[in-house]
Amino acid sequence: MPKMSNILICDMPLRFDTYKGCSHGCEYCFVKLKTDISKIQNDESAQTLLNFINKRRNGEVVEKIFDYDIPLHWGGVSDPFQPLELERRRSLDCLKVFAKTKYPFIISTKNAMVSRPEYLELLKDCNCAVQFSAIGSSYDDFEKGASTFLERVEAMKKISEIGIRVIVRAQPMLPKMENELTENLKLFKEAGVHGLIIEFMKYKYKAVGTLKVRGDNVYPLETIKPVFDRVKKQANALGIKVYAGENRLRQYGDSLNCCGVGDLWKTHEANLNHLLFDDKKVELKELHNNILSGGSSQPNQWSLGQSTKDLELLKTLNYKKLLNMAMQSKSSLSDYTIDKKAYEAIKNFKPY
């Protein structure tokens, strides 16, 4: 069954993975900080995917917060198109399910495998978008098990040519990569890329030029905002949309839906980013009947729907209550935005 994460800030918080572990072995991989990714095991199967889709469509409660076809994000903690896929073909089997059911989803990958003929043939019939992580060839040495930058660009072209939306994830972005990224914008344009998501590197150790925010060392806003603005200006001039995968910059992107699919499908907009920054009124109706069990616990400290503790908490609160708590918690809000506009909105916030 797909797993939920980041429900308070993410438009697409249901994550789907066909493998556990990943042989791409990216040096900066955040997943390997928590688990040994060199041991690759099977994760979700085509059958569990089909069960999930059927249950939702038969009206059985699957995730109480969503009562519509919330798009799945495929490839949250492992790459669905890593080399082992050519032996096991779990992702190919899942694509068959997606092609048949037309359930919406996004693929996230660093491998050109997804553009091989047998996958392209299925993608043609899917209701999906494909994201490739790519900044420039300088990253090839740090992503030795994945396709090279130029192989990914070739794959982007093949996929956009069959009418599937292609989005580049410029992550983990470093301020010093600004020139290389902007030099590659033309290549992306020629490959039919629709949009670019920018998200900066987070370190577990104190790296030069970073500051500590909770458990991570990150580049300060005054470093990353000008880089983001400059890249955005150049990309927009070429007709490429730019989104902020970086929580602290989300409101400055071309859409609050940082996956770049907000105009394609209904997504989970009843989250903090839309409550704070969306000009249109966020639809909260979907939340009213979604009691997760009506408990009254009021923990002092909690983060953004990622930990087991948060998920336990979700079972004891209704989602509306959780949002109210989040909107009144500066420490949680500062995780994703710290600018004046946000604090104005928080000051004027009236609980639902």
**Which position has the token pair 């688990």?**
35
Instruction: Tell me how far the alpha carbon of residue 259 is from its chain's centroid.
Output: 6
Coil/strand/helix, residue 198: strand
- Based on the shown chain and the rule CB under 6 A, indicate whether residue 24 belongs to the binding site for ligand SF4: yes
Taking CB under 6 A as the criterion, the residue among 79, 151, 178, 310 binding ligand SF4 is: 79
Distance from C-alpha of 81 to C-alpha of 18, rounded to nearest angstrom: 9
The residue count of the chain comes to 352
Q: Which of 14, 22, 196, 227 contacts ligand SF4 by CB under 6 A? A: 22
Per CB under 6 A, which of residues 202..221 are in contact with ligand SF4? none
- Considering beta carbons, is residue 147 or 267 the nearer one to ligand SF4? 147
- Nearer Cβ to ligand SF4 (80/262): 80
Of the candidate spans 17-25, 282-290, 309-317, 329-337, the one that interacts with ligand SF4 by CB under 6 A turns out to be 17-25
Q: Which of left, alpha, beta for 16 (phi over 0: left; psi -120 to 50: alpha)?
A: beta
Candidates 23-31, 89-97, 229-237, 251-259: pick the segment binding ligand SF4 (CB under 6 A). 23-31
Write out the binding residues for ligand SF4, residues 80-119 only, by CB under 6 A: 110
Residue number, 111 or 273, with CB nearest to ligand SF4: 111
Which residues, at least 6 apart from 287, have a Cβ–Cβ distance to it below 8 Å? Answer: 65, 270, 318, 319, 320, 323
Determine if the peptide bond prior to 83 is cis (ω within 30°): no
Choice between 81 and 302, CB closer to ligand SF4: 81
Q: Cα separations (Å) of 125 from 162, 204, 310?
A: 10, 41, 37
In terms of CB distance, is 24 or 241 closer to ligand SF4? 24
Instruction: Please give the residue ranges that form the binding site for ligand SF4 (CB under 6 A).
Output: 22, 24-26, 29, 31, 37, 78-79, 110, 146
